[in-house]
Structure 1
Amino acid sequence: MSTTDFLLQKHVLAAAAWVLVVAIAGGLATEVGAWYKALVQPPWKPPDWAFGVVWTCIFIASAFAWLEFWSRSPSANQKSIVIVLFLLNGAFNILWSVLYFKLHRPDWSMIEAFFLWGSVAAIIVAMIPVSSLAAWLMVPYLVWVSIAMALNWETIRLNGPFA
């Protein structure tokens, strides 16, 4: 096995680990119990089952974006930047779920959502010079976070204040 093959396998595992850790931690933080069910929801909110489907597609696309970027990037510095951005993004993704679902603070999660959105946008910007395909694979994530922010805002407007 060549060094290149070994490094590619290592990053396939890293991308898969990132997806699994973020998805599992976010899922564990997402409790749709009595508090959530009592919230007044806007009429345009997607059905609850759709969130898992959309997030699964987003995480798969994100993992492929990571791998596409990694396979095309000649610079260790560029690779390091994108890895750090993915790690930050994962932390922001999990934190949003904790704030919203565990702490029952959509108001705090709304503030944090700007950091989540910014982390996705930063990944896209960092990927563009190396791989437009990788950057485009991240666009659905940015769109979904934008929709989630609008839904978050409507939840605050319809149900706030939160304490």
Structure 2
Amino acid sequence: MIPSWLAIGIATLAVPLILNRFISSQDFRWFKHLRRPDWLTFEGAIPLIWTIIFIFGAWSAYNVWEANPGKAFTWVLMGFYLLVEIVISLYTLVMCKTRSLKVGTIIGGTGFFLGAILAVIVSSISITAFWLLVPYLLWSPIGTFVTWQMMQLNPINA
């Protein structure tokens, strides 16, 4: 039997790795050539920020699993964690494939609301699991706002 922390860790790594394989170099070039807000001085730190958020999300899921391992509702919550991760991971792929910052903004906002719902639900199971989701809940609106600002700076790509 695979330990829960390993299964959750593998799922957490697999989703973005699989989805990011569908991003072509043309997609990436399109995104890199977009204008960004002048105040976006921390863009180089964004991959590290997302890495931390994914680690904390996996750790949160692990805490929820360990609180009630194998229960039907716990499996439903694991599916909810997976849904939130898929939405987060689809942001870049779908936005780049559609060449639409508006689509990215919508996906970013959707991910935030799904994450907020998940955080509220897990708060009654594990307060640690809740607090591990807080970095995502703080970062997601910033990322969504950056995308919205980029819409204003790149109206052709909105």
Q: TM-score range by the shorter chain?
A: 0.7 to 0.9
Q: Structure 2: how far apart are the matches of 1:64 and 1:37?
A: 31
**Residue in structure 1 matching 2:148, options 147, 153, 162:** 153
Kindly state the Cα deviation for residue 25 of structure 1 after the two structures are TM-superposed.
Answer: 3.5
Q: Structure 1: how far apart are the matches of 2:135 and 2:41?
A: 16
What amino acid sits opposite 1:128 in the alignment?
A: S
Q: Structure 2: how far apart are the matches of 1:52 and 1:30?
A: 18
Q: Structure 2: how far apart are the matches of 1:24 and 1:46?
A: 26
What amino acid sits opposite 1:116 in the alignment?
A: G
**Residue in structure 1 matching 2:12, options 19, 43, 53:** 19
Q: Which runs of 4+ in 1 moved over 3 A?
A: 25-34
Kindly state the Cα deviation for residue 147 of structure 1 after the two structures are TM-superposed.
Answer: 0.6
Name the counterpart of 1:78.
Answer: 73
Kindly state the Cα deviation for residue 116 of structure 1 after the two structures are TM-superposed.
Answer: 0.9
Q: Structure 2: how far apart are the matches of 1:113 and 1:87?
A: 16
Q: Structure 2: how far apart are the matches of 1:74 and 1:36?
A: 41
Name the counterpart of 2:57.
Answer: 62
Structure 1: unaligned runs, 5 residues or longer: 1-5
SS in 1 for 2:85: helix
**Residue in structure 2 matching 1:126, options 102, 114, 121:** 121
SS in 2 for 1:44: coil
Q: Structure 1: how far apart are the matches of 2:137 and 2:60?
A: 13
* TM-score between the two structures when normalised by the length of structure 1: 0.83
Range with bigger deviation, 23-32 or 92-101: 23-32
Q: Structure 1: how far apart are the matches of 2:100 and 2:116?
A: 24
Q: Structure 2: how far apart are the matches of 1:33 and 1:74?
A: 40
Shift in CA distance, 114/66, structure 1 to aligned 2, threshold 3 Å: same
Give the paired residue count: 156
* TM-score between the two structures when normalised by the length of structure 2: 0.85
CA RMSD between the two structures? 2.3
Range with bigger deviation, 11-20 or 29-38: 29-38
In the alignment, is the contact (CA less than 8 A) between 1:22 and 1:93 conserved in 2?
Answer: no
Aligned-pair identity in percent equals 25
Name the counterpart of 1:3.
Answer: none
Structure 2: unaligned runs, 5 residues or longer: none
